[in-house]
Amino acid sequence: IEVCHFVSLETLNLYHNCIKIIPDAIVNLQMLTYLNLSRNQLSSLPACLCSLPLKVLIASNNKLGSLPEEIGQLKQLMELDVSCNEITALPQQIGQLKSLKELNIRRNYLEVLPQELVQLPLVKFDFSCNKVLVIPICFRKMVQLQVLLLENNPLQSPPAQVSNIDHLNYVLKWNGQVQILAYKILFSHMSFQTTPLKAHSALTSMTFLWSEKWQNIQHFFIM
């Protein structure tokens, strides 16, 4: 691709083309900090892509089945969006992205979230619309996390330990029944099968009462 000859290029938007392969020549763009590859036909990302000084990488709406293990080399990456792909697992090396603030892995085929994610300074994390059954307890150590989106996952139990993160300030939503914008933790479309969850914040705590099938919220109150 001729664009790979523009060695001083800082921003490259290849949105909505029919690109199937990223040429190795992209490694020539050693000034590139923003790359948008969304809505193409990519089945993989080349390892050489991870040698660029990227701060933003958007590769949503492709056919990616995985991420390269070299992804950990993107030390300056602040935003990674690989939503709407076919990813079944995240490489452990993703925990090496020491600058990553926003991670969007929405609408993939993930069943497990690697514990290495806790090493990231994430402020916003979206793993909604996957197949995740359990949220690792270690996620409570994500002290900078402010926005957590996880609706449409077959979670088997409420993440009580995770909900104890006092700094979480994004929303509460269960089965589309309740939406509290002031409190902000987002859990929707779940079928919890354990005892009622007590969600805590620095100022308030809310207790949610479910029906016998633990499907829908009946009441909520602020203490």
Whether residues 15 and 114 share a domain: the answer is yes
- Looking at residue 156, its pLDDT comes to 79
Average pLDDT in the chain: 78
Mean pLDDT, rounded, for 2-16: 92
CATH number for the domain including 112? 3.80.10.10
Task: Tell me how far apart the alpha carbons of residues 191 and 178 are, in angstroms, rounded to a whole number.
Answer: 15
Largest Cα separation within the chain, whole Å, is 64
Q: Decide if pLDDT at 178 tops 60.
A: no
Dihedral, CA of residue 179, residue 185, residue 186 and residue 190, to nearest 10: -100
- d(CA 223, CA 215) in angstroms, rounded, equals 23
Residues 108 and 179 grouped into a single domain? no
Examine the domain organization and report whether 27 and 120 are in the same domain: yes
127 and 167 within one domain: no
11, 100: one domain: yes
CB atoms within 10 A of CB 11: 11
Q: pLDDT, tens digit, for every residue of 15-59? A: 999 999 999 999 999 999 999 999 999 999 999 999 999 999 999
Count how many domains the chain has.
Answer: 2
Q: How far is CA 211 from the centre of its chain?
A: 31
Q: Which of 99, 131, 163 is the last residue of a domain?
A: 131
| 81 and 162 fall within a common domain | no
Residue 4 has pLDDT above 80, yes or no: yes
Residue 181 above 70 pLDDT? Answer: no
Work out the pLDDT band at 140, boundaries 50, 70, 90.
confident
Out of 85, 107, 131, a domain closes at 131
The more confident residue out of 130 and 208 is 130
- The percent of residues above 70 in pLDDT, for the chain, comes to 70
165 and 220 within one domain = yes
For the sheet with 217-222, list strands across it.
198-200, 205-210, 217-222
Whether residue 170 contacts residue 184, with contact meaning beta carbons closer than 8 Å, is answered with yes
Region of poorest pLDDT, from 2-6, 48-52, 91-95, 155-159:
155-159
With cut-offs at 50, 70 and 90, classify the pLDDT of residue 3.
confident
Q: What is the pTM of this model?
A: 0.76
Of 7-16, 134-143, 150-159, 168-177, minimum mean pLDDT range? 168-177
Q: pLDDT tier at 163 (50, 70, 90 boundaries)? A: low
Whether residue 124 sits in one domain with residue 15:
yes
Query: The tokens of 77 are what?
Result: 């990456």
119 & 10 share domain: yes
Close Cβ partners of 212 (under 8 Å, ≥ 6 residues apart): none
pLDDT at 161: 53
Q: Which domain holds residue 100?
A: 1-131
pLDDT at 7: 92
β-pairing, 205-210 vs 124-126, is unpaired
Q: Among 168, 162, 204, 202, which residue's Cα sits nearest to residue 184?
A: 168
